[in-house]
Chains A and B, each alone.
Chain A
Amino acid sequence: MSKQPVLEVKNLKQYFTSGYGKNKVVVKAVDDISFNIYKGETFGLVGESGCGKTTTGRTIIRLYEPTDGEVYFNGKLISGKLTKEEKREVTRGIQMIFQDPIASLNPRMTVKEIIGEGLKINKLCDSEEHMMELIYNMLETVGLTPEHATRYPHEFSGGQRQRIGIARALITNPDLVIADEPISALDVSIQAQVLNLLNKLKEQLGLTVLFIAHDLSVVKYFSDTIGVMYRGKILELADADELYKNPIHPYTKSLLSAIPLPDPNYERYRKRIYYDPSIHNYDVEEPKLVEIKPGHFIYASESEIHEYKKNI
């Protein structure tokens, strides 16, 4: 692996506290996770709600101050204090596509203003004409027309709004796009449209994407590498096909066995695997993320690794 990772996350921790004194509660939303995303690659994060996948994305883009750990972007540390110029470079280089296409667009701004804002802030255009040219090009790239530029978000359908959200993220020519459940708020028939668009853009522009979702079939379709999160930890990390063909961790197995497939015969005889976290005894041995096969990482203690290795 001589390639330089675009994003390097090292032992990232994000704890939230509430209450004081006796009532103090610490929630370990993200608890010591590490992963790399290489150029042109799509990294999928899956897990149930509350497992910390969204928090991970938000911490990377500096919406939260991480409790501990480092985030490197293009080889530079970005998780600590930054100068104004560095901050600008980071916010230009990492862009985010949000889940809710209604809440994430300002209702009082026209599409032109929404998309152009990033250009102005980052001084990526020299004149008004240049800006409009870039905006029109971007609108066409995401499947909208230049006439849409002067309209307001409420005039668009959910799928079109998500396209605006994508255009806004891509206008600054980012090195990394964080897509946080970009299709889960859309209708079934529209989901495929947006997925195809993202796939097309990924190829066309060579995007590097951190794809966060709970729908495993979609993540499998869209990602090259997948990390499975559970209670703030990455339990298993592997190539998409490898993970689906040879899941090792019991939690991954249970997740995979729970996906409903549009195939009645399969559904009738499906066997569900239930995951019981108490099967792990981590009092004696510290669990670690270990490379069990080339490119296939798993979070387990030493004796468990031994056990898993027998079954490979």
Chain B
Amino acid sequence: MGSLKRYVVKRLLQTLVILIGISAITFFLSRVAPSDPAALWVGLHARAEQIEKARKELGLDKPLHIQYLIYMRDLIGGRWGTSYRTRRPVIEDIINYLPASMELAIAGQIIASLVGIPLGVIAASKKDKKIDHASRLFGILTVSIPSFWIALMLQIFFSRTLGLLPLEGRLSSNVARMNPIERVTGFYLVDSLLTGNFVAFPDALLHIILPALALASYSMGLSLRMTRSTMIEVLREKYIVTARAFGIPENTIKFRYALKNAIIPTLTVLGIVFGWSLTGVFLVEVVFNWPGLGTYTWRAILAVDYPVIVAVSIIAALIIVIINLILDLTQVYLDPRVRL
């Protein structure tokens, strides 16, 4: 187990290096921007002297590396800056908007998994038969759909033509006024149930359906393809065939050998797909005016809101890196071959 510890430590150190690298990249990128946040901070008809003053106040007149050091120091200390656009601490904004994005990503993930994984397994088990071809085609087609376009099409069809589902947002304005959801986790579906708000729950549910579907359209195909290929790999592995040939009981094969090895790639599937969702969420949020991190970041980018851009990049990278780390560590734990 000593080598496991060493591996874990090594990976953690590498993760740290990666995170520092990301923070440096984002920081310097944002400082290189061809626009002046000091000017934005002050306002549209500002005078030159006011802009200069703001630049000093915001610390933008110091040399770049000093700015970076100050920034890193604040970052570690939990002071992630104030958004130039909303004038609120970035951390506060992120806490406000993150649950919305996560709820959407998870909802999309659930739909995608419920469709993609079983289909992928079926396709694998009936390989090369009609069902396999059909499923694979389905997988490839769904991956080719532009998420923002399908979002608009869903809006047109379900909202405009059929009038069944709401056009955008997380909650209808009426419900938001009359039966506001008390915040516990920030997940509307969870919170409304937890606080017994049975007016808001169906409303929130109706609102999340279309965006989650739009999001799931891509992940569905991805899940399907990857599940299928990993299943095929596992089923074909020589050791399975050999084990069977040797007359080892089927159950033992399933639980001790096949399952363990099927989990690893499936976890990777999960990680990759979820990681993708975090970026896929972006476009869908914009179309549905979903008040999540995606819309927040997009507006920040357009407004050259440095603190937000850097903070969100680091957080998003952090999430992905952590997920990868967990996946890698689980993989190492389960499969001794992978250890370096």
Report if A and B associate in a common complex.
no
Interface of A toward B, CB cutoff 8 Å? none
